[in-house]
Structure 1
Amino acid sequence: MSTESIQAAASVALSQHLAGKKIVVVGGKTGIGLGVARAAQAAGASVVLASRRIASVQERPELADFTQVRLDMRDEASVKAAFEAIGPFDHLVVTAAPDLGTWGAFMDESADGARSYMEGKYLGSWMCARHGAPKLRAQGSITFLTGGLAVRPKPGYAAVTSAFVAVEALSKSLALELGPIRVNTIRPGFVDTDMWSFLPTDAREGLKRQVEESFPARRTGKPEDIGHAALFLMTNPYVTGTVIEVAGGENLVPSLG
């Protein structure tokens, strides 16, 4: 069998796995979350996007084929109401996080920035799993999202690192507690999305060049790379309690500045 035939057969098999399935992506309107949503839809699933604000079709025509539900990860009542509205579903992927650049520094006079980031990322992921798990059908799964800072901390990112490590620990704990529901984490490397828009244009472009020149993959990550990993975790029934790194070899090279 040719390589093309094998790839085509794998694509068909993947579509059959998700045909008729209902996927909820928290934070799925932009960036990595939208990459996951598009991958799941292409594999045959119906997709619900859960986020703080519902976008109109006029504003975001590319979202017309998705169902949208309002969900604020910092508000447990909002999270609970969202999953009550969604009803039974098959897989949950939590990609949302507070904006980068909002967490404050370790020695700030107030810990408000760190507290806000931890609540938004860690407790937000906790609440989504807490209220989503009872709605999951048999063979369901939960997938969280962290980042390379979980294993390669950098000065100034203490809150982000702490939140990522906590989410990865939560993932492993819930794999035990919720089994046979499967719970995993994707740990992306640099993915070129609007998440980095807080950086000046020159700094962002410089970072991209560093990634392309130094990472073994010789390119930046794309949302569809993470979407591919999410499909694997949704469709492989024997993977749970693990962290999948999708980073282009980032941890094999010196840390970027």
Structure 2
Amino acid sequence: MAGKKVVVVGGKTGIGLGVARAARAAGATVVVASRRVSSAQERPDLEDFVQLSLDLRDEAAVKAAFDTIGPFDHLVVTAAPELGSWGAFMDADMHGVRSYLEGKFLGSWASARHGAPHLRAGGSITFLTGGMAARPKIGFAAVTSAFAAVEALSGSLALELAPIRVNTIRPGFIDTDMWGFLPTEQRDGLRKQVEDTFPARRAGKPQDVGHAALFLMTNPYVTGTVIEVSGGENLVPSVS
């Protein structure tokens, strides 16, 4: 990865930060794009990265961000609206689901659309979804739908943008602040259930996804696929 430039949309926290750190450790220059640029005093841990402001819900801002970045080698889109923000299927209106789909699905679409023209030869795009794309849970209809749509988009773009390689990572339970919307007791119980039942016998970490992202960036013969990084979640009854 030495001499390569990697753009991680949503790379300041959680899984995105794990991907950014993995790419930087492998020798790449890493641009982390998010809605807000943090100062060195606020986030000294970001000093190894180039920060850029990018709002996934504003297509003009997405285009401007990639025009600013210029030529680069690999795009990883990890950003998504906060968990718990989508509302329920039978809510009085569809504001929650529209907002979630716009941020996750259309945000991923816009990132690929405006990032692809700047990708150098041998470049790749990697999207991020989650286990609910294949294993729906009650109350998460918007998330399941958005994840499934992103995975369908990934396969379509692997054909449409070839020879640019396009793949998706589907994580299982990754222990990050993403789950902060849950009460502490419920979050601890979920972690314990994962540790007891998943074949890996532990919760996932951001670096686990970072490792998979590096594989997809560096293997020139992998495209149009979904890689599950879940500790074997697909082999056990659903956690909740």
TM-score w.r.t. length of structure 1: 0.93
Q: Which amino acid counterpart does residue 88 of structure 1 have in structure 2?
A: P
- Deviation per CA, 1:45-93, whole angstroms, max 9, x where unpaired? 0000000000001000000110001000000011001001100000000
What SS class does the counterpart of residue 6 from structure 2 fall into? strand
Residue ranges of structure 2 left out of the alignment (5+ in a row): none
**How do residues 199-238 of structure 1 correspond to structure 2 at under 5 angstroms?**
199-238=182-221
What SS class does the counterpart of residue 170 from structure 1 fall into? helix
- Is 1:46–2:29 an aligned residue pair? yes
Identity %: 78
- Is 1:68–2:51 an aligned residue pair? yes
* Aligned twin of 1:113: 96
Which runs of at least 4 in structure 1 moved beyond 3 Å after TM superposition?
none
- Deviation per CA, 1:93-146, whole angstroms, max 9, x where unpaired? 000000000000000010000000000000000000000000000000000000
Q: Which amino acid counterpart does residue 147 of structure 1 have in structure 2?
A: G
Which has the higher Rg, Structure 1 or Structure 2? 1
* Aligned twin of 1:86: 69
**How do residues 80-229 of structure 1 correspond to structure 2 at under 5 angstroms?**
80-229=63-212
Q: Which amino acid counterpart does residue 162 of structure 2 have in structure 1?
A: G
Residue ranges of structure 1 left out of the alignment (5+ in a row): 1-17
- Deviation per CA, 1:130-176, whole angstroms, max 9, x where unpaired? 00000000000000000000000011100000000000000000000
* Aligned twin of 1:22: 5
Report the CA distance between 1:187 and its aligned residue.
Answer: 0.1
TM-score w.r.t. length of structure 2: 1.00
What SS class does the counterpart of residue 172 from structure 1 fall into? helix
Task: Work out the CA distance in 1 between the residues paired with 2:239 and 2:229.
Answer: 17
